[in-house]
Amino acid sequence: MTDYSSLSMTRRALLGAFTATAVSAAPTFTQAAGFLRGGGDIRRIKMTSPRTGESIDTIYWIEGEYIKDAVREINLFMRDWRTNDIHNIDLRTIDIMAASHNLMDTNEPYLLLSGYRSPKTNAMLRRRSSGVAKNSRHLRGQAADLRLSSRSVNQMYRAAMSCKGGGVGRYSGSNFVHMDCGPIRSWGR
């Protein structure tokens, strides 16, 4: 005979541990409802990095609470790979990425081309390309450049735009989409 009371205590203890290590945060901008569409009660992010060879597949949100350790792993994963500088990634950007991924209904992890950028890296990239903003949201940990081989740039762009959570740039020639938590805007073709 199974003792369900001890199982429920274990489940409660587990949920309590998750809650104790989570940080509560909520979007503070006017488009929160659209932004969270597709987020769900459990939020997960899956990415690989061609630069470092690393992968991440983590649940970072459960029942309205961010999981502190998972967010730290995401910050580390999205670091500036050139300098190894780590910056806190804005939780709204992570939410936009996760919601967009859910809307595209794919299990393929994002290919992270650029997350946080140090001032040194951003300056170097600006010298090489006119398409790099001087005050890029990458400098604040508020942006990501992403690719999926199973989805087109247009499909990724439409998914991110439907979240109504920030800026979305379409870079068809380079095969990636920029997502950020800044003002709602779009660019590119």
Of 85, 62, 91, 87, the residue nearest 75 (C-alpha)? 87
- Read off the pLDDT of residues 81-106 as tens digits, 9 standing for 90 and up: 999 999 999 999 999 999 999 999 99
Please report which confidence band the pLDDT of residue 133 belongs to, taking 50, 70 and 90 as the band edges. Answer: confident
Cβ neighbours of 64 (radius 10 Å)? 11
The token pair that represents 53 in the structure block: 């060879």
100 neighbors 114 (Cβ within 8 angstroms): no
Residue type, 83: T
Residues listed for the chain: 189
Element (H, E) at 11: helix 4-20
Of 32, 181, 175, the residue nearest 94 (C-alpha)? 181
Element (H, E) at 59: strand 55-62
Please report which confidence band the pLDDT of residue 130 belongs to, taking 50, 70 and 90 as the band edges. Answer: confident
Alpha carbon distance 158, 154 (integer Å)? 6
CA angle 124/129/131 to nearest 5° reads 115
pLDDT computed for residue 189 by the predictor: 85
pLDDT at 170 over 90: yes
Q: Going by DSSP bridges, is the β-strand pair 110-114/143-147 parallel, antiparallel, or unpaired?
A: antiparallel
Q: What is the pTM of this model?
A: 0.78
Residue type, 38: G
Please report which confidence band the pLDDT of residue 14 belongs to, taking 50, 70 and 90 as the band edges. Answer: very low
